[in-house]
Amino acid sequence: MTRKSRRLWLLVACGIGLGSASALALDAFSANIVFFVAPSQLLATPANGRTVRLGGMVVAGSLHEAHRSGEPVAQFQVTDGQKAVQVRYAGILPDLFREGQSVVALGELASDGTFAASEVLAKHDETYMPKEVAEALRKSGKWNPKFGPAPSAASWNRMSVKTDTTRGS
Amino acid sequence: MDAIRTLDATDPAGSSGPDRSQRRRVGLLHRFANPGRFLRLAARLQPWTNALALVLTGWGLIWGLFFAPADWQQGDAVRIMYVHVPAAWLASAGYVALAVCSVLSLVWRHPLADLAAAEIGPVGAAVTAVCLASGSLWGKPMWGAWWVWDARLTSVLVLFFLYVGHIALLRAFDEPQRGYRAGAILALVGAIDLPIIKFSVQWWNTLHQPDSITLTGAPTMSTSMLWPLLISALGFSFGFAAIVLARLRAAVMEQRLRVLLLSRGNAAAGAPS
């Protein structure tokens, strides 16, 4: 019994030591663990010529698409609500790319303040809703996807049940 | 796990009979007396776990893949969720089971926990592989990348390597007991990865979206998608339990057979002298 409890306490002590060591290490490295930086962070500490990932929401009405020598070229602004950065990208944008969507762009901040991206990824949020619900929310004026994430599911889940039953009957 | 815990409460030595001539053989076998009770319990449980796994997984997947609505922006690609999320949940839950078995093994030296850890490992590695593969297939059309090194994806890849390392370490020793011990220590050290996986999407910026289903808040998902997902997750969980149970029964029987053959061999060798 004493040997068992001794082993148990040894295990608990090792767990606490290992846990706090990992927590400290992860905290110290958190600047490197983040996948992207926000526009305000990027502008606060300009990483001159260093390749970084910039993440944020595409500003509504800022997207301009053009074709230059057969290749699609896109310009848009990415914001975190405080600052916005102009992004240039030559290439095909992901399917989920749209105004109001969160995106992550890999590239570097040029001297003129624009961000030259070599890769753009779409970052969708954790909200999942049927097409009819999104359409109904848009028509009722409760939500425009161009201006940010959807309202909480509790506010439209009842509605989705209603549309389902009307379709079923 | 309940089976193991209740078995642990009983005294394994209590099954040794008063017969002195039998005591030596019982001494060899008494370690597996508890697993004997486990076998009887498991044989009764097995048909239920099998049936629930098949019915619930079938129900959840057919509902999710064919009848649940498509997502407003992701379209039909969102249906990968009905495989990806249950696999991801079981990758972590399986590792929790592995860690609990490792504590039982290191502290209480429970032989059944050693066998259970050895049998959980490969099943956990398989669901983690399914989670990574289905996530990759989902990531390409939605994010635009098969793989990114963000905190969520990387920590789950580490979990997969932990499972594989545990499998390899168990078999790296000539003496099985030392392998079980080393494996248990590795499994417990690796358990630090579990909170990192869970909270990676909250602690750091990641490409992977945060959890839709949390203990504290309401789900951020349409109920028409939530129900098939929950049923599929429940079905996958019973499937995981059924496979581990079947593997564990086979392992216990194999262990008993080995002990029997060993004692018979000893008796045969001892007879002529």
Across the interface, whether the CB atoms of A94 and B148 are under 8 A apart is answered no
How many residues comprise chain B?
273
Residues contributing to the annotated binding site of A for heme: 124, 128
Quote the pLDDT of residue B12: 43
Q: What's this model's pTM, rounded to 2 decimal places?
A: 0.86
* Domain residue ranges of chain A, discontinuous segments joined by +: 2-32, 35-123, 131-168
Quote the pLDDT of residue A141: 84
Across the interface, whether the CB atoms of A133 and B72 are under 8 A apart is answered yes
Give the C-alpha separation, B109 to A25, whole Å.
32
| A133 at interface of B, judged by CB pairs closer than 8 A | yes
Structure tokens at B192: 């630090």
Quote the pLDDT of residue B181: 94
Instruction: Write the pLDDT tens digit of every residue in B123-162.
Output: 999 999 999 999 999 999 999 999 999 999 999 999 999 9
From B154, which residue of chain A is nearest by alpha-carbon distance? A33
Average pLDDT over residues B157-168: 97
From A92, which residue of chain B is nearest by alpha-carbon distance? B144
| B136 at interface of A, judged by CB pairs closer than 8 A | no
Q: Which of B132, B129, B100, B130 is nearest to B117 (CA)?
A: B100
CATH T-level assignment (fold) for domain A35-123: OB fold (Dihydrolipoamide Acetyltransferase, E2P) (2.40.50)
For residue A71, report the phi and psi dihedrals to the nearest 5 degrees.
-110, 135
Across the interface, whether the CB atoms of B205 and A37 are under 8 A apart is answered yes
Instruction: Write the pLDDT tens digit of every residue in A17-34.
Output: 999 999 999 989 888 889
Handedness of CA B152, B154, B157, B158 (dihedral sign): negative
H or E, element range at A107: strand A102-109
Which residues in chain A touch residue B107, judged by CB atoms under 8 angstroms apart?
Answer: 4, 7-8, 11
Give the C-alpha separation, A169 to B204, whole Å.
46
